Structure 1
Amino acid sequence: MSILKVKDLKVGYVDVQRQKNIVVDGVSFSLEKGEALGIVGESGCGKSTIARALMGYLRPGGEILGGSIELAGNFVFDLSPNALQSLRGEIVAIVPQNPLSSLTYHLTAGTHLQEILQSHRGLSAANAKAETLSLFEATGLPEPETIYKRYPHQISGGQRQRVVIAAALACQPALMILDEPTTALDTTTEMQVLKLVKDLRKNIDTAIIYITHDLTLTNYMCDRVLVMHDGKTIEQGQADTIFEQPREKYTRKLVAAIPRVDEPSRREKIAKEQLGGKLLEVKELSFAYKRQWSMTQMFRAVDSQFVVKNVSFDIRESETLGLVGESGSGKSTIANIISGLQPPMGGGIYFAHDLLHARGEKRPSEVLRRIQLIFQDPLSSLNPRHRVRTILTGTIMGFLGVSRREATDRAVVLLEDLELPIGFLDRYPRQLSGGQQQRVAIARAFAANPDLIICDEITSALDVSVQAQVLDLLMAMQKKNQTACMFISHDLGVIREVSHRIVVMRHGLIVETGETEALFEHTTDPYTKHLLAAAQRRDDRIEQPQFGLNMGSSQPSERPYQS
């Protein structure tokens, strides 16, 4: 029995010149009850537009130009607003790519789910809370009671995504649309979540549409795969056939671009002998979030829980250091501290042998130029009121002191390097796909001619072919400008491709460091072995073992910053 029928769907958007651009062009497919369909393709091919259209959503400027969508016997485009509201959540649910934009910043994580459960399932407040905690535990969130009380900005990107996934699972919908749902998750958590989705599909016969740029995930998750390019269907077929024996040239290109965790890097890195001296040195860095005030603190001392504890490493000129670990291990916190966005509780950071001030606003402008951070979530880091032209030229003029015309010329070159059309200069961030937004963020960072680039999960939102282009660009920039890079990622295949050395973290502690190939081939640490095994997407490696690491609450070594 078909739960979904899409016939000749055609969607367009009006650009700033009032021209109508076709982003989905005559796409047709169907989905049986309990079946899983994967939709893959590069950024901007129309995957997310289809996901929104299935729920009756369109971005501003969007228009349905033709075709129909029949969901559970209802023609979506003919439904009233009230009927659509009933459809969403109970019959169809979506897990969006960007968790931060789908969570309300002034509501706690628990409140989001409790509201859904009380509204759609009619649970009491107590039962809704119990069900929320159960869903948090099922999606692999650590300390569900703690996460329940935290606000979105107080949890990591991967933890935010798991909260959104738990919200989609709350009503056990007949159709669940997953739009790049695991891009922010580490490998082990990704496998736990995907297995959870597979179990749900099996237990309640839920149909799945899985939108991703990672063909290895569709091979694991889906029965069939639909490959898209420029809004059109390129190839359809069984998942294993598409992955192992693709017919079309474009599909073969996607498969070839997948970084492999079980093979040495295919890219030529800067030779070890050509690396310079120490550019960045981190010494015994520690950080903890302050606990919320409670009456308990009046009667006994409450220690802080450290998210980074006595971490030390260095980066040489032209070197790429890979920083890996699960969500919440402290990777992004370290990036924020180095870039001056957060002051640490202890430790020191030396850049070009000079001790940096703890707060970024008190660092010299030249230091700010030389250290650039590319965030995990591009949409929240780009000003929604500025066009891409202003975003790039403002950075260039501010740091390099050139004229507006020279800044525009350099902005054009940056877009061309990242294979973005020059016409994107006149677009706003919201008018770009997730991958296109991330490439603009990368262009903005390189606009300052930095000496150190901190890349915080920058490829998590990119399709594999664009990811390959971005990695090539990063390595080319290093060779040309001797730019060092701290590359944070949960994708071990990407880390192996780009890094000279690797630091493995868990619970804010460093568990292992080493040369890249030696660590991948001969690691002796059980946690690193677990990460490598999970990256191969094996069901028998999904459950998280206990490795005996305990952050505790002991104080870090005192190493005051320059004041």
Structure 2
Amino acid sequence: MTEPILKVSNLNIAFGRYEAVRNVALHIDPGETLAVVGESGSGKSVTATAVMGLLPAREISINGSIVLDGQEVLGAPESVLREMRGKVASMVFQEPMMSLNPVLRVGTQIKEMLRQHRPLSDAQARQEGIRLFDRVRIPDAQRRFDDYPHMFSGGMRQRIMIAIALACSPKLLIADEPTTALDVTIQAQILDLLNEVQRDSGTAILFITHDMGVVANMADRVMVMQQGMTVETGSVREIFEHPREDYTRMLIEAVPRLGQSGNAVLSPRTPHERPRPVLSVKDLVSRFDVRGGAFNRKVGRVHAVEGLSFDLHAGETLSLVGESGCGKSTTGRSILFLDPPDSGDVVFDGNRVDPSDRASLANLRRNIQMVFQDPFSSLDPKQTIGATMAEPLLCHGLASKKVAQEKAEHLLERVGLETAMISRLPHEFSGGQRQRICIARALMLDPKVIIADEAVSALDVSVKSHVVDLLISLQEDMGLAYLFISHDMAIVERVSHRVAVMYLGEIVEIGPRADVIGNPKHSYTQQLMAAVPVPEPVEDRHRIIGTETGELPSPIRPLDYVPPRRALTEVAPTHFVAGL
């Protein structure tokens, strides 16, 4: 009988009076993947952090047993734990930008790990680091070895974190939500990479996630956690096909699936029934200078958005989808002139917006509001929710403090929160509650359009479902138009009337939801659809999940580059595709 690489018994963790983990037990055998699933606050990440010996001993109460490769972690000296970290067990965190040192080159950071555990010279560590970067498929690894973290996309930064974690061939890899905020194609590539590493080295993986679609494709066994306790444990097929607990069934049923949301929203009106668009974007171009050299001169330009055109009607949802770096978020920010575009027109309610006219710009920003991906960074941590929500009305001079307060209370109730919460600070809310607050704040000015930039991507499946239901309900009641920016294709299918697929700053396919998602014509759209994980157990867990899309080509062009004009071809009524 093979000894497990990790065995946790009767683990209890408390922060003061709050019991974060209660009587948790688990084990992982060599070469096995155990997925720990549950909603935010269930104790998943705290358990994983305890396995690595990273919890602050003075601030917590912890008892039980954590045996890692035969060594008891609890109570072990810091010198022993330092030796084990990276060599016996490594961890990949959810947000790579928070895990990587922003002022150190990525090569320096992987060399630090290598030289900590292996007797290598600087030159040898560099050579080994480049080999590891090649292994995790970072293009042009030798040249990019000396780049800084901010110079990489989210998917590339996550690969760097995996390379650092694998540097010393650990026996256990802990992956804490490593794909939550990634696009479907990048997510598929990261999952394929982890599968490949496990095939080649026999590394055991503790995979922490709330995405049951990923679990079905990655895990051998599943442990479900709720409120710090284990709800049930079993093989991936047992959990998906015969869940014993209501909570497990809820997690599985809450996963949006492609093809099951076709009738979740009303179809848009046919073109001849539509009034004038509430928002028109015509030939929008946004570029950013790239500087370099001894004199920091302009050496190129990032062509983030290139000749984008679309209309958005009242009561309609148009979704922008595509990989990181395709220009989705820049489009949203350029429409509001937060990132002023180089050229093109933004027409709101039939009037062209003149960014040099303060009144014109103020009218645009009053009527088009934005909900960002990370609600915590969108809210002032020192302001109460009531003050944050009242601020837009007061800034535009539209109401007194008393009226603004009353409206804030009304909208908090409208988004499913209690009015008594209005005096709380942002850190006193969960992620889902903070996102509801951001939606309520966006509604304070009675806008006609809301730009939702990855507004639900980092939320738990059940919370995500509630927020999406809220958005649909608000649209039906208030006639709101949504520009919905997302990489979650199942959510896009559920909320959209039309879908626009972006690639390198351009729309390559746009049309009704059913046509674009159900019958994609452009090869890139087809690749996006193929990369969506299906929340059903698979026979061969180590198969290739994604397609070989590769990383997006660089959008950086020479200063004299003139982009070609690409026409869209109508392949069906209101369904247009580029390059046909």
Give the secondary-structure state (helix, strand or coil) at the position aligned to 2:85.
Answer: helix
What is the aligned-residue identity percentage?
Answer: 38
1:344 paired residue number: 341
Q: Are the equivalent residues in 1 in contact too, given 2:412–2:437 (CA < 8 A)?
A: yes
Identify which of 87, 90, 111 aligns with 1:90. Answer: 87
* Structure-to-structure mapping, 1:393-404, within 5 angstroms: 393-394=390-391, 397-398=394-395, 402=399
Partner in structure 2 of residue 294 of structure 1: 293
**Does the Cα contact within 8 Å between 1:342 and 1:359 map onto a contact in 2?**
no
Alignment CA distance shift 1:498-1:533 (3 Å): same
Task: Describe the shift of the 1:362–1:80 C-alpha distance in structure 2 as closer, same or farther (beyond 3 A).
Answer: farther
SS of residue paired to 1:77? coil
3-state SS of the aligned residue for 1:455? strand
Task: Give distance in 1, aligned partners of 2:477 and 2:123.
Answer: 60
Distance in 2 (CA, whole Å) between partners of 1:94 and 1:453 is: 38
Aligned to 2:164: 167
Deviation at 1:421, TM superposition (A): 7.2
Q: Given the alignment, which residue of 303, 311, 322 partners 2:319?
A: 322
The count of residues paired between Structure 1 and Structure 2 equals 551
1:350 is paired with a residue of what secondary structure?
strand
Partner of 1:450: 447
Q: Provide the residue aligned with 2:476 in structure 1.
A: 479
Given candidates 490, 495, 501, the residue that maps to 1:504 is: 501
Aligned pair in 2 of structure 1 residues 353, 5: CA closer, same or farther (>3 Å)? same
Report the CA distance shift for 1:96/1:269 in structure 2 as closer, same or farther (over 3 A).
Answer: farther
CA-to-aligned-CA distance 1:5-49 (integer Å, 9 cap, x gap): 2222233335xxxxx333322222122222211111122222222
Give, in angstroms, the shift of residue 415 of structure 1: 5.4
1:112 aligns with 2:109: yes
Q: Which moved more, 1:335-344 or 1:517-526?
A: 335-344
Alignment partner, residue 61 of structure 2 = 64
**Structure 1 unaligned spans of 5+:** 15-19, 559-563
Residue 313 of structure 1: aligned partner: 310
Deviation (angstroms), 1:385: 4.3
Residue number in structure 1 paired with 2:282? 283
Distance 1:257 1:110, change over 3 A: same
Change in Cα spacing, 1:401 to 1:146, as seen in structure 2 (3 Å) is: farther
1:49 is aligned, of 23, 46, 69, to 46
Secondary structure of the corresponding residue to residue 337 of structure 1:
helix
Change (3 A) 1:109 1:443: farther
Judge which range, 509-518 or 302-311, deviates more: 302-311
* Cα distance per residue 1:237-278 (max 9 Å; x no partner): 111221222222221122112111233435133642686531
Matched, 1:493 2:480: no
Mapping of residues 223-302 of structure 1, within 5 Å? 223-269=220-266, 271-272=268-269, 277-294=276-293, 302=299
The amino acid of 1:530's aligned partner reads: Q
Which residue is 1:561 aligned to?
Answer: none
The CA distance in 1 between the partners of 2:359 and 2:125, in whole Å, is 47
User: How far 1:545 sits from its partner (Å)?
Assistant: 4.4
Shift of 1:182: 0.6
Larger of the two Rg values belongs to structure: 2
Decide which of 35, 38, 45 is 1:38's aligned counterpart. Answer: 35
**Equivalent pair of 1:337/1:344 in contact (CA under 8 Å):** yes
1:221 to 210, 218, 236: 218
Counterpart selection for 1:6 from 8, 23, 26: 8
1:24-75 CA distances to partner (integer Å, 9 max, x unpaired)? 2222212222221111112222222222222233489952354332222333
Cα contact 2:412–2:418 (8 A) shared by 1: yes
Within-5 A mapping of 1:409-448: 429=426, 435=432, 437-448=434-445
Give the Cα–Cα distance (whole angstroms) in 1 for the partners of residues 79 and 186 of structure 2: 36
- Structure 1 residues 297 and 443 mapped into 2: Cα distance closer, same or farther (>3 Å)? closer
Corresponding residue number in structure 1 for 2:562:
555
How far does residue 280 in structure 1 lie from its aligned partner after superposition? 2.1
Residues 139, 192 of structure 1: 8 Å contact kept:
no
Amino acid across the alignment from 2:40? S
- 1:374-422: CA deviations, max 9, x gaps? 3333444344445555544545654675566665665566556655677
Question: What is the letter of the counterpart of residue 280 of structure 1?
Answer: L
TM-score by length of 1: 0.86
What's the CA shift for 1:501?
Answer: 0.9
Q: Report if the CA contact (8 A) 1:275-1:318 is conserved.
A: no
CA offsets 1:311-351 (integer angstroms, 9 cap, x no match): 22222222111111122212222222223332233323223
Q: Structure 2: any 5+ residue segments left out of the alignment? A: 566-580
Alignment of 1:117-156 (within 5 A): 117-141=114-138, 144=141, 148=145, 150-156=147-153
Q: Conserved in 1, the CA contact under 8 Å of 2:370 and 2:453?
A: yes
**Matched-pair contact (CA < 8 Å) for 1:286–1:556:** no
* SS, match of residue 266 in structure 2: coil
